[in-house]
Chains A and B, each alone.
Chain A
Amino acid sequence: MTMMTASAPLLKMHGIVKSFPGVQALRGVNVSLMAGEVLALLGENGAGKSTLMKVLGGAFRADSGVIEIDGVAQHFASPQDSRQAGVAVIYQEFNLVPGLTACENIFLGQEPTRAGFVAQAQERRQATELFQRLGVEVDLDAPCRRLTTAQQQLVEIAKALAFQARIIVMDEPSAALTSHEVSRLFAIIEELKRQGIGVVYISHRLDEIFTIADRVTVLRDGMNVGERPIAQVTRQELIELMVGRELSDEFPKRAITIGPPRLEVTGLRRGRAVREVSISVKRGEIVALTGLVGAGRTETVRLIFGADPREAGEIRLDGRLLAIRSPRDAIAAGIGLLTEDRKLQGLVLGHSVRENFGLPNLDWLTRMGFVQRRRERDEYTRYVETLRIKASSSEQRAGTLSGGNQQKVVLAKWLARNCDVLIFDEPTRGIDVGAKYEIYLLMNELAAQGKAILMISSELPEVLGMADRILVLHEGRVTGEIPDARNATQEQIMKLAIA
């Protein structure tokens, strides 16, 4: 660590209590952060990490507790107050205006002006300096929606630096990044450390925490359950702290009985994203489709599912040629797709979990055009039990569930259809360890039932732990196949992915 270690902590949150009607989200949480330190904040979804960071960011007001910066007590009544005190929170969903350029976004709300006009030259100069400080290059004139997720994240970080933030909170910053981009992010975080900035790093990926963090604080049910220097803790210990019970293994084992080919895709093509992809998944097999973001993985499965029109390619199920022109056709044929983006593509957030569950199943839950609501609720309730979905009732809005529970609702709606082929696109993104394990168990169970499972994942440990066979995509083509996933290594995959 740095020379500032001896002085007072940069940030000290003490005894933070926050309750919402009916639930106590934080029950007296303590967190401290030194200048030039990276603190990992760990905990399952619902443990209170997000609430705590919203208190720090001024979005919520704590019921009681003290926030001190450099030993001075702070009262954050609004995000502006917090920002003025030097706190920047970078949420998972970025706060960028898609139509404005990187430069405009960085200075949004604090534009340098001269006689009432925005001093554009000054803006550009400062923005360039900021990116230089980060050691990266971003097109200052492109509207933000054209930038990649990683670049947008850089804009967020630059924005934080622009108002001299000294504490930067990053909520799941690596969730949407490729391995390559994550390592660049780490380099930037190292640079921030050197400049004396304290970073709170929230992530579910333990590998990353061991790489980047100096210290880790674990929350469970709104309380501190552990705080260790990273050097004095093992992966196993962290998992147990978070979950509150012993987990035998991150990836459950299973007996594999692989049958004849079930899903066969040949010569799939669409534009530049998918140039030539052939995939076959056998009964009882879990095949991982991996590669860098932008390699065409999601695009490929969307073609299989009929979500986008394909230019060429044949799709067969159990040897039968399918004429898939829309998701409706794919679903009718027995294919289910769990999309990467639950919020935008998987769920109708404003509607109840029961209605979301029912949506792809209405054909068999409807009689004479009328939805059989009791049957729908009963079916849903069955899955609540098997999947251990935590929702207050079947009428709870999907948007108010935690990420893991949202994913379980998405799972439930496809399980109820009893599809022959299930495609999981990043099934565990943003999901805590306990829920991840349950989803893995379920995937194994589905494979054991003879279903064909195609899984997209950017998390290499997950790919290695779950898949029977690995396909690596690069620029819209399958560049490699690893038949025996159990004995593969991350390096092997990376080599094929970069190809």
Chain B
Amino acid sequence: MTRNLSRVLTDYGMIFVLALLCAFFSIATYSEQSPTGEAAARQVAAALIANFGKAPRVLIAARDQADETLFANKLEAALSASGAKLLAVVKGEPRDARAALQKIVSEGQSLDVIAGTRTTAAWLVFADLKAEFPTLGDPQLVQPRTEKWPNFLKSENLVNIANQIAVIAIIAIGMTMVIITGGIDLSVGSLIALSAVLAARFIRDYAGAEQASALGMTLAGSAAVLICGLIGAFSGGMITVFGIPPFIVTLAMMLVGSGLAYLLAAGQSIYQLPDSFVWLGRGEGFARIPNAVLLMLILYGAAHVLMSRMRLGRHLYAVGGNREAARLSGVPVQRVLMFAYIASALLAGLGGVIMASQLKSGSATYGNMYELYVIAAVVVGGTSLSGGEGKMFGTLIGAFTIAVIQNGMNLTNVESYTQKVVLGGVILGAVLLDSLNVSGGGNDSRKGPADALNRGTNDRASG
């Protein structure tokens, strides 16, 4: 039990860093939250019914704005259902409220409650009712209660974080595989752009532009992803057959991919896409989770199973851990490497289609510098750049750590230049943490018998 716990601690130390960051930003963004719209209406209705019995005489005051009229309408519906007497519903400005009050007075009625939003309840017209409308009775002002809750932890914000990181996290799956084999893929950022432009052009030119059908868009997106896969196969071929270092090959493909994207887009954004194209990137599916985030979670689940349970995963680790030993044990090293680079490119292509969907256009400027964010996510997630070690879910945590830091700094109004500095520091810190962990435990066979007993755990894929 304790052994398992300590294993989780060493394996997923970044989880705790992530949790700490979340706690920090929760505290930093802890502030007054006033409910608006429907939530506010529900709360006020409940308070009225509880405090003023069966049939209070009510005036509802709201401004002429979307969430305030929503508040007024919902409250009106709730109150009439409960039997309250609605004398007036104001959706406008203070003078509208004054007119309504005058009308009530002129009709000789009195008022028990004025229900307003936080803004309207503060209107001056309601401040001195006794002097102005002595016959009105003694109406009480009711407004939504405020509560304290971190902006960071609001569900909209959390979904926002997941949405922002989905593309990077999906690409980081392939990058993790590549890095575990001891390689690197610098071309993913350019493949995002290429794939986005290809998908957009296919839809515009062959699938009927704004009138494209779901099938047409699916085919266009798949074609874009597959073309990226071919580029991955090319990189893999150069690396395995000709033995060119992955860094060089994928650096070259980064330039090629980006150049092709600009050529194909003719230097412009392609936006002749149907509205339904945003389904993939912005649409909500199961449990109000965005589709892109759902896709990301499914892909991570599958990748985790692949890496920890399947033969191919074992081969990926073995090739990165000791290529020669793997080869002499009958591992088809070249095929395994080909798989990693093709998977990385396919996922980068998928990321490009998602981004095109999120932004409802295709442009060659997409994905600029993304390769670095993706690599950062993988490294922060604890995957060793020297290969052979790393965990899929570590990468997911790494991606979220980066997203949380960016989001948290946005919420706390940190300048974007400062954000870059902080992010750089965090990446360095994460790797430092990891290297301290390694030198504390040791993977060197010459370290003596202590290691033999302490490092008896498989700290990769066994989770």
What residues of chain A have their CB less than 8 Å away from a CB belonging to chain B?
20-23, 25, 46, 50-51, 54, 60, 91, 93, 305, 307, 326-328, 331-332, 337, 339, 343-352, 354-355, 358-360, 362-363, 366, 369-371, 373, 391-393, 395-397, 399-401, 413
Contacts and interface: CB of A to CB of B under 8 A. Distances in A.
B157 interface: no
A23 B447 CA distance: 13
Given A60-B448, A400-B455, 14 more contacts: A20-B449, A20-B450, A21-B454, A22-B450, A25-B450, A354-B458, A359-B329, A370-B311, A392-B453, A395-B462, A397-B451, A399-B445, A401-B445, A401-B452
A337 B325 CA distance: 11
B126 to A, nearest CB: 70
Contacts of B324: 344-345
B458 A46 contact: no
18 contacts: A20-B454, A21-B453, A22-B454, A23-B453, A326-B327, A327-B328, A327-B329, A349-B321, A349-B443, A350-B389, A351-B321, A359-B330, A366-B311, A369-B310, A371-B314, A391-B452, A397-B443, A399-B443
Output the residue of A60, A339, A348, A369 with the most chain B CB within 10 A: A348
B95 interface: no
Interface residues of B, number: 40
A363 to B, nearest CB: 8
B373 interface: no
A20 to B, nearest CB: 3
A355 B461 CA distance: 11
A343 B445 contact: yes
Contacts of B451: 20, 397, 400
Nearest to A344: B324
B321 A370 contact: no
B228 to A, nearest CB: 24
Interface in B433-463: 442-458, 460, 462
Listed from nearest, the 4 A-B pairs whose CB atoms lie closest are A20-B450, A348-B321, A399-B445, A331-B330
Interface string B297-339: 0000000000001111011011001101111111110000000
Interface string B29-48: 00000000000000000000
Contacts of A399: 443-445
A350 B323 CA distance: 12
Contacts of A358: 314
Given A348-B318, A349-B321, A350-B321, A91 B446 contact: yes
A51 B448 contact: yes
Given A20-B450, A21-B450, A359 B314 contact: yes
A477 B339 CA distance: 41
Contacts of A307: 327-328
A23 B457 contact: no
Nearest to B327: A327
Nearest to B389: A350
A391 B449 CA distance: 11
A355 B458 contact: yes
Given A359-B314, A395-B457, A400 B447 contact: yes
B453 A360 contact: no
